[in-house]
Chains A and B, each alone.
Chain A
Amino acid sequence: MSETLPDTSPEAQRLHRELEAVWGNPTGWRALTVVNHSTLGLRFMATGLVFFLLGGVLAMLVRAQLALPDHDFMSPGIYSQVTTMHGTVMMFLFAIPMLEGLAIYLIPKMIGARDLVCPRLTAFGYWCYLFGGIILFSSLLLEMAPDSGWFMYTPLSSGEYSPGLGSDFWLLGITFVEISALSAGVELTVSILRTRAPGMALHRMPLFAWYILAMALMIVVGFPPLILGSVLLELERATGMPFFAVEGGGDPVLWQHLFWLFGHPEVYIIFLPAAGIVSTLVPVFAGRPIVGYGWVVAAILTTGFISFGLWVHHMFTVGIPQLAQAFFSAASMLVAVPTAIQVFVWLATLWLGRPRMTLPMLWILGFLVIFVCGGLTGVMLALVPFNWQVHDTHFVVAHLHYVLVGGMLFPLLAGLYYWLPLVSGRLPSERLGRLGFWLTFLGFNLTFLIMHVTGLLGMPRRVYTYDAGLGWEPYNLVSSVGGFMMAAGIATVLLDLALHARFGRASPRNPWGADTLEWSLAMPPASYNFASLPRVESRHPLWDNPGLGGEVARGEHALAGAAHGRRELIGSEALTGRVREIIHLPTSSWWPLAAALMLAVVCISLLMRLYPLALAAFTVAVVLLLRWSWENGGHPLAAPMGHDEPADPPLHSRTQDGPGRWTMGVALLADGAFFLSLLFGWFYLWSVSPGWQMPESSPLSLALLLAAGLMLAVALGWLERRLRALGAGEDAGLAAALYGIAALGGLHLLMLMVMLWQAELAPTASAHDAVLLVGLLYVLLHGGLASLLTVLQARRATLGHVSARLPYEPRVVALLWRYQLGSYWILVVAIGLLPRLIGGGP
C-alpha cells in the first residue's frame, strides 16, 4: 500500500522521505522486529479476528448440539471443552485484544502523537498475546482443552476433579495473554496522559481517549486479581498448596471472589471502548458537537469505579448474607445511571443535530436496540430474588450476549466501517454491508431474544443436552437457526471487507466529515503519522481547520523532520497539554520477540511440569528483558549525548520526570492491585474460610522481619539522598553509592531468606503457611528486582549513561524501592503483627 499524502508539494514529499527513513518499518524477516503502533494495532486486530472466527465456530458447534433434545452430536466431555473454550476465546482472545488493538492503532493518531510511549512494550504485548493464544487454543486440537467452564470454578478445576492438563492450559495461557493486556493498559494510560498534542488540555481530549484512558486504568487494576487467582490455583494444582481446598484451610469461594473481582470490571473494560466508538461516531453523523461532554466524562469515570463494586452479583447464590447482597444489588443498579446518561447524551446529540443514516450508523442503531435490551435485563438480574431464580439459566446466557454482542461487537463493526477508509483508503460496499447488518441483527435477536424464554422455562446453562417433553425444544431449535443466520451475517460482513480491499472505490479525504485528528493523516497513515505535530485549541480541530492535514504534511507545525535520526514526539503536561519535553523513542528491536519467546518456553515447560527448564527459561527471559532495558536514555543505540541536543524543550532522558517514570508508576499500580488482592485473600481466608487453622504462635521471626524492614528503609533513605544530590547536579561517587544501596538491598533479602528458612513452613499442609510463603516470595522478588536494577544503574553511571546531565533513570528505579518499602511494611503488619495482636488458635 502506498499512502495518499494530504499534500503533494515537494516540501511534503521531502519531509515524508526523511521521516520514513527514521520511522519506517523494516521488511522481510526483520518485520518481526517492528515496534510501530499502526502495524502492531493492525496485527492485534487481525489476530483477534482469527480468534473471533474460531470462537464463532465453537458457538455454532454448541448451537448444533442444542438444536434438538437428546442430540448426539458431541460427547459430554467434548461439549464441556467447546463451551469453556468458546467463552474463553471470545473474552480473552477476541474482545480484549481486539479493542486494545483498535486503541493502539487509533490513540496516537487521535491525540496527535507519532507512536505510543513504549513501542517495544507494544510489540512484546503482541507476541505474548499471539503465543499465549496459540498455546491455549492448541489444547482444543490436542483434545485436552480446559473443560471446567470459562470461570474455572474450583474444586471442579482442581487437580482432584480435573486431573488432565486442561486447567493448566487455561491458567498458564490466560496469564500469558494477560501480560499483553497489562502492557497495553500501562502504555495507553501514559500515552494519553503525557503525549497529547500541544494545547490539547484534558477538557479538549477526544472522548474516545477518555474512554480508552478509563479502559486502560481498569485493565491495570482489574486484571491483577485474576492473575493472582491463576497463580494460586496453578500452585495448588502443581504443588498441592491448599488455597482453595477446604481440607487444608482454603476456600473455593475465594476463587470466585478473585475471578469476579476481575470478571465484572472486564465486562465494562469491553463495553467502555465500544461506547467510545459510539460517542465518536454519533456527533460526526449528527453533524454537531456532542452535547454534555462533561457529563460523558463523568459517566465514564463513574462506570469505571462502580464496576469494581459489582462483582458479588455473580455470586448471589453462594450464600452471602442478604444485607451484603443488597449492597451489591444496589451498586449493580447504580451503574444503570451513567449508562443511561450516555444513551441520552447520544439521543440529545442526534435530536439537536441533523443525523445521516450511513452504514456505520446502522450498526450503532443495532447496538442501541440490543444494548438497551441487555441493560434492562441487567437491571432485572441485579434484583436479588429474581437473580436467585434465573441465575445460571439460559436467561443469563441471553442477557450476557445482549450486553457483550450488543455492547461490543455492534459498535466495533460500526467503528470498523467508519475507520476502514482511513486504514485502506477505500470505501466498502453499502449494499453488501447492509445485507450483512440485517442478517446479523435479525439472526442475533432470533437466537438470544428467544433464549430468555428458554431460561424462564428453567433450562440451566452449560448442559450438553436436555430431555424432550420439558417444553424447551422449539425455543432451542429457533435459537440454533438464528445462530446460523447470524453466522451468515458475519460471513457477509467479512466478504464485504475482503471485496473492498480489492474492488472498493477510492475514498475521498475525511469521507464522513469528522472532527478528530486521525482524519488529517495520509490514507493509509504513514509510519510516523504526523509530519509535524499540530497545536490543538479545541475539541474539533478538523472542523475548525479542514486544511490542517496539508499544513501538517508540509511541516508547518512542531518537530517537522527527523534529520537527527531520532524518533521524536512531544511530551506534554497531563492536565493542560503544555509542552514539557521531547520524547525520543526506541526503534525496531529483536528484544520483545526474544523475551516473549522465552516466556512461551516458560509457559510450555510449566505445562509439561519440567520445572528446572521453566526456571532456566525464566532466568533467560529476565536477562533478555534487562538487556532490552539497557538500550535506553544515553545508550549509544538510544539518544547518546551529542551536539544537536535540543535545549528547550529538552529530551526526556535529560529531565527529572519523563514518561518512563509514569510508566513505572502505572505498572506499580497494577502491582499494587495484585498485592492488595493477595492481602484480601489472606484476610478473607483468615476470617471466613470454614477450615482455617491459625497456628498458636506465628512461625515468622519478628526480629528478623523488623530488621529486614529497617535495612530496606536505610537503603531507600540513602537512595533518596543521592537523588536529591543528583537533581542539584552532583554526581560524584554516584556509581559507588548505587552499588552500596544495592548491597543493602541484598542484606534485606538475605535476612528474609534466613527468616523463611527458620520458619519451616508447611505450605502443602495448610493454607495459612501457603499464603505466608506466597506473600514472602512476593517481597523477595520485588526486593531482588529493585537491587538488581540498582546494580545496573551503578554500572550505567560508570559508563556515563547516568549522570548529572542524565539524571532520569535512577528516579524511575526509586519508585520501585518506595513501592517495596510500602508493600513490605504492610505485609509485616498483616502477617507478622496482626496475628500476634489478635491471637492465634482456630
Chain B
Amino acid sequence: MTVHAAWRKPGHPMQLLLGLTIWSLWFVTLYGGLSVACAVAPPSPDQGALTALNLWLGLLTLVTLGVLLWLARFCLAAVRRESGRAARFIAAVAGGLHLFAASGVAFVGLPLVALPPCL
C-alpha cells in the first residue's frame, strides 16, 4: 500500500474525505438548486410541500443516500480483508464516516417532505 495506489481502494486516506465531500456537494447542490429555482420559477405557495421542486431535490437526496450507503458497505466489508494495520484503520474510520454522511443526508433532507420550498 503506497500513497500512489488508487484512491478508490477502501484503505486509501482519500476515503476519509470522500464520503463527507459527497455530503458537502449534495448539500451545496440542494441549497443552490433551491435558491436558483426559487429565484427563477417559484412554485405557488398553495401547493404546500408537494411541488416538483421538492420531488427533484428529494430524488437527488435518495440517490446520494444510496451512493453513501454503498460506499459505507464497501469500506466496512473491506476492514477484515485489508492487509496493513494502517489501511485497516483507514477503511474502518472511512466506513464510519460514510455511514455518518449518509445519516446526515437523510436527516438534513427530512424537511423536504414537510415544507413548501420558497417561502
Contacts and interface: CB of A to CB of B under 8 A. Distances in A.
- Whether the complex brings A and B within 8 Å at their CB atoms is answered yes
Contact of B34 (A201, A309, A324): A324
Nearest to A330: B108
A338 B100 CA distance: 10
Contacts of A575: 1-3, 12-13, 86-87, 90
A202 B13 contact: yes
A322 B119 contact: yes
Contacts of B32: 683
A574 B119 contact: no
B31 A302 contact: no
A297 B96 CA distance: 10
B93 A323 contact: no
Given A330-B111, A575-B90, A305 B24 contact: yes
Interface in B90-119: 90, 92-93, 96-97, 100, 104, 107-108, 110-112, 115-119
A573 B118 contact: no
B74 interface: no
B97 A302 contact: yes
A323 B34 CA distance: 9
Given A301-B17, A306-B104, A331-B108, A573 B96 contact: no
Interface residues of A, number: 37
Contact of B20 (A302, A326, A688): A302
B14 to A, nearest CB: 10
Contacts of A566: none
The secondary structure that dominates the A interface is: helix
A308 B24 contact: yes
A329 B107 CA distance: 10
A203 interface: yes
Contact of B119 (A304, A309, A321): A321
Contacts of B76: none
Interface in A334-383: 334, 337-338
B27 interface: yes
Most buried by B among A202, A320, A328: A202
A732 interface: no
A309 B27 contact: yes
A337 B27 CA distance: 18
Contacts of A683: 32
B97 A688 contact: no
A294 interface: yes
A202 B117 contact: no
Contacts, number: 113
A688 to B, nearest CB: 5
A687 B54 CA distance: 19
A137 B32 CA distance: 38
Nearest to B110: A330
Nearest to A341: B100
Interface in A680-704: 683, 687-688
A683 B87 CA distance: 40
Contact of A305 (B2, B3, B20, B108): B20
B36 to A, nearest CB: 5
A576 interface: yes
A328 B31 CA distance: 9
B35 interface: yes
Contact of A321 (B1, B12, B38, B112): B38
Contacts of B65: none
Contacts of B1: 575-576
A619 to B, nearest CB: 38
A530 B118 CA distance: 61
Contact of A323 (B3, B27, B107, B117): B117
A179 B93 CA distance: 33
Given A202-B89, A573-B3, A298 B40 contact: no
A302 B116 CA distance: 29
A327 interface: yes
What size tier do the contact residues of chain B reach?
A: 35 or more
A337 B36 CA distance: 31
B80 to A, nearest CB: 15
A688 B90 contact: no
Contact of B117 (A301, A308, A321): A321
Nearest to A297: B93
Most buried by A among B23, B87, B93: B93
Given A202-B13, A322-B119, A573-B3, A298 B84 contact: no
B10 to A, nearest CB: 13
B115 A322 contact: yes
A302 B97 CA distance: 7
Contacts of B62: none
Given A305-B24, A327-B31, A330-B108, A298 B96 contact: yes
B108 A321 contact: no
B111 A203 contact: no
A233 B64 CA distance: 37
B34 A687 contact: no
B2 A323 contact: no
B93 A294 contact: yes
Given A327-B27, A330-B107, A574 B3 contact: yes
Contacts of A337: 100
Interface in B25-41: 27, 30-32, 34-36, 38-40
Most buried by B among A333, A574, A687: A687
B8 interface: no
A688 B32 CA distance: 11
B68 interface: no
B111 A327 contact: yes
Nearest to B92: A294
Nearest to A334: B104
Nearest to A201: B86
A305 B18 CA distance: 11
Contacts of A576: 1-2, 84, 86
B16 interface: yes
Contacts of B16: 301
B13 A574 contact: yes
Nearest to A327: B108
Interface string A568-579: 000001111000
Given A321-B118, A334-B104, A294 B85 contact: no
A323 B86 CA distance: 42
A834 to B, nearest CB: 12
B30 A327 contact: yes
A682 to B, nearest CB: 13
B22 to A, nearest CB: 10
B90 A202 contact: yes
A451 B21 CA distance: 38
Contact of B116 (A306, A323, A334, A688): A323
Interface string B70-87: 000000000000001111
B89 A203 contact: yes
A203 B94 CA distance: 12
5 contacts: A297-B93, A305-B23, A323-B112, A330-B107, A331-B104
**What 5 pairs between A and B have smallest CB-CB spacing?**
A326-B111, A203-B89, A305-B20, A201-B86, A330-B108
Given A309-B24, A312-B31, A321-B119, 18 more contacts: A203-B85, A294-B93, A298-B97, A305-B20, A305-B24, A321-B34, A321-B35, A321-B118, A327-B27, A327-B30, A327-B34, A328-B31, A338-B100, A573-B3, A575-B13, A575-B86, A576-B1, A688-B36
